[in-house]
Every structure is written in structure tokens, then in C-alpha cells.
Amino acid sequence: MADPTLDEIEEIARRTIAALPAPFAGPAAAVAIVAADFIPDDLMEVPGDADEKWEITGLYDGIPLTEKSSFDQPLSPDTVWLFRRPILAELEERPGTTLPELVAHVTIHEFAHHFGWSDDDIAEVDRWWE
């Protein structure tokens, strides 16, 4: 089976967002979703760290809703990044887990940063750890 495309990863994430509980689905739809093979150097704590590139499956880039103010002037839209190659590497380490399950888990985890969710809040939406 061929590796999924970046568009396929983004589509899984969009389906995950659409399935969020009503109070979250609308605000989540306003967040950009971007799939890339790896985290771009400008988003890394240590640009060019090859090991880190393989460890980061997703990233929230924005100001969490719990910290936003009307005085904030965003320089770019809130974005959830999904990194295909690290996701596929993690998938190989998790027998019995499907690609849609893993992408949904990473997506929910990144949206937790956007919404300012606690671990208990995440568990209400994502039953990954059960």
C-alpha cells in the first residue's frame, strides 16, 4: 500500500475536526490545517535538528483561545501542522493502530493547545489512552 499523500492526511484531520462536539467544531474549522513531510526549520526550537524532525508528529502554531485578547494582532492564522513522515514512523511502532486513528489523535492533541484543554478535557474527546 502506498504512503498517504499530504492531502489525504489533511482530509483525515478535517473529518476529525468535523466530528468534534458542537461547541468546538465551529471554532476548530477556523484553524488552518497544513500537512508537511517534516516540521519546517523556522518552527523548530533548534533549527536543523534531524532527530527532532522525526519526533514531532504535529504542532499548534497560534495563540490559544484562553490567551487571546482583542488587542492581539495575529501575524498569521492559527495553524495545526501535521507531519506525515513522523506520523508514518510512529504508525509502524503501533501495531493495530490505523492511520486515521493516529492522525485523529495527533489532530486532537494539537487542537487541545488551541482550546486550552486539560488532560481531562482531551480524554472527553479523544479516547486514545483507554
Can you give the CATH number for the domain in which 120 is found? 3.30.2010
Mean pLDDT of 21-41: 91
116: pLDDT confidence band, cut at 50, 70 and 90? confident
Q: Which residues pair with 61 in a beta bridge?
A: 79
Mean pLDDT of the chain, nearest integer: 86
Q: Give a yes or no: residue 1 inside a domain.
A: no
Q: Give a yes or no: residue 52 inside a domain.
A: yes
The confidence score (pLDDT) of residue 45 equals 78
Q: Give a yes or no: residue 130 inside a domain.
A: no
pLDDT tens-digit readout, 34-91: 999 999 988 887 776 778 889 999 999 988 878 777 676 667 789 999 999 999 999 9
Query: Which structural domain, as residue segments, surrounds residue 29?
Result: 6-68+75-125
Strand runs labelled E in 1-83: 32-36, 58-61, 79-83
Q: What is the Cα 70 distance to its own chain's centre?
A: 25
Lowest mean per-residue pLDDT among 12-21, 65-74, 106-115? 65-74
Q: Give a yes or no: residue 60 inside a domain.
A: yes
Q: Give a yes or no: residue 13 inside a domain.
A: yes
Q: What's the total number of domains in the chain?
A: 1
Closest C-alpha to 39, from 4, 85, 3: 85
User: Please, are residues 84 and 58 in contact by the beta-carbon 8 Å criterion?
Assistant: no
